[in-house]
Amino acid sequence: MPRRCSVTDRSLVLRIGDHVHGFLRDLHDQGLRVPLPRRRVFLQAIEAVGPCDATDLYWIGASTLTMSREDLEVYSPTFERWFGAVATRPARDQESPDDETPVPHGKGGEAPFTAALGGQAGLEAGYSERERHPVFGPASAEDREVLSLLRRELRGAVPTVRSRRRRPGRRGPWIDLARICRESWRGHGEIVTLRRRNRPRRQRRVLLLIDVSGSMKQHSAGYLRFAHAAVGCLDRVEVFTFGTRLTRVTEPLRARDVDAAVASLSDVVLDAEGGTRIGVSLQEFLGNTRYVTVARGALVIVLSDGLERGDCRPMQAAVRRLSLLGHRLLWWTPLACDPAYRPVTRGMSAVLGSVDALAGVRDLRTAYEQVQTLIRE
């Protein structure tokens, strides 16, 4: 647990009260534009932790107001002007080292701010909520060839269900009296053909939930192109992306050209290549009654590595409810393309019991192979 001091420097308390809002305005003027929610978290953290000295206050601000090394380069000199110089690392309590929260590091000794963004290579889960405009490159010739195959095969991969509405048909258990009467008028009251109605089969809804966080940025473009193919050839499809928030992207993906459709998402999906909050995003989906209707009885496909940060219980509860709502819940992850992969991370091991099938999908080619598997089933 983090250490909490019992005595706070009174002069620091006065400086915080007098200067904190001016300090935040100065950060904005220096180019570090902190959104209002993070400012609120900063103030709440000051109240909750009760900093003993300027070093404590520095690290409270660094952990809540900055999201990258560039942000820290602006934050540090600005903080020094308002509150004085501090140590480069938080002081450790020598008497009770077990109670001290260690400074987190990313893979290979990365600074915590780089790890928060998912690492420079985008191979790790992070928690950054910084808005950005991702750039999705054009589809290659091979991708376009696979997309044409997907459009041809996807219809056969989606399970069907009996429609609740009765339609005219050659056979069926119900007599179509209205149609018989209309035709009898033309035949002077004679019933020539006994017309019937039935409930034809129709495709189930398809719900695609696509992870666009930093750890998935090598695969997000391929997943979105797959979603574009699904929206173009299936009757009832809804597509959502999630990283640190939930975004509905069905309408932008209705554009005819795949490159234009995916490129338009750069102004819509503002949490791409950032942090990962799978449980919170899925719970936001389930908290919207309109979205829940989409999931009911649908083929639900989650395209994510399942690398959740923090408490995995919200993710476990959300995936469990999605499994109960939908017809089938499929989880496609790029990690499962490795034959040695085992779902032993906290997030995946928690939701594995609610998933109907776990498969490896890292690009359009592997997605096409899974579609072929669904057709055979």
Encoded tokens for 294: 């989409």
Q: Say if CB 284 and CB 318 are below 8 A apart.
A: no
- pLDDT at residue 188 is higher than 60: yes
The confidence score (pLDDT) of residue 5 equals: 54
Higher-confidence position of 101 and 176: 176
Q: What number is the average pLDDT over the span 264-284?
A: 89
Q: How confident is the model at residue 131 (pLDDT cuts 50, 70, 90)?
A: low
Phi-psi label, residue 108: left if phi above 0, alpha if psi -120 to 50, beta otherwise: left
- pLDDT value of position 115: 41
Which pLDDT belongs to residue 120?
A: 41
6 is written with which tokens? 């019992």
How confident is the model over 18-59, as pLDDT tens digits? 677 788 888 888 888 888 878 888 888 888 877 777 888 888
87-129 per-position pLDDT tens digit? 554 444 433 333 333 334 333 333 444 444 444 444 445 544 5
The fraction of the chain above a pLDDT of 70, given in percent, is: 83
Confidence of residue 134 (pLDDT cuts 50, 70, 90): confident
- 284 or 23: whose pLDDT is higher? 284
Please state the rounded mean pLDDT for residues 164-176. Answer: 81
Radius of gyration of the chain (CA): 27
Q: Which three-class secondary structure string do you get for the chain?
A: CCCCCCCCCHHHHHHHHHHHHHHHHHHHHCCCCCCHHHHHHHHHHHHHHCCCCHHHHHHHHHHHHCCCHHHHHHHHHHHHHHHCCCCCCCCCCCCCHHHCCCCCCCCCCCCHHHHHCCCCCCCCCCCCCCCCCCCCCCCCHHHHHHHHHHHHHHHHHCCEEECCCCEEECCCCEECHHHHHHHHHHCCCCCCCCCEEECCEEECCEEEEEECCHHHCCCHHHHHHHHHHHHHHCCCEEEEEECCCEEECCCHHHCCCHHHHHHHHHHCCCCCCCCCCHHHHHHHHHCCHHHHHHHCCCEEEEECCCCCCCCCHHHHHHHHHHHHHCCEEEEEEHHHHCCCCCCCCHHHHHHHHHCCEEEECCCHHHHHHHHHHHHHC
Name 168's Cβ contacts closer than 8 Å, sequence gap at least 6. 176, 179, 195, 196, 197
- Where are the domains positioned within the chain? 10-103, 141-158+202-376, 165-199
Whether the predicted pLDDT of 356 surpasses 80: yes
pLDDT over 90 (residue 224): yes
Among the four given CATH numbers 3.40.50.300, 3.40.50.410, 3.40.190.150, 3.50.50.60, the one describing domain 141-158+202-376: 3.40.50.410
At residue 323, the pLDDT reads 96
What's residue 101's pLDDT? 37
The rounded percent of the chain whose pLDDT value lies above 90 is 41
The reported pLDDT for the residue numbered 320 is 96
This prediction's pTM: 0.63
| pLDDT for the residue numbered 301 | 97
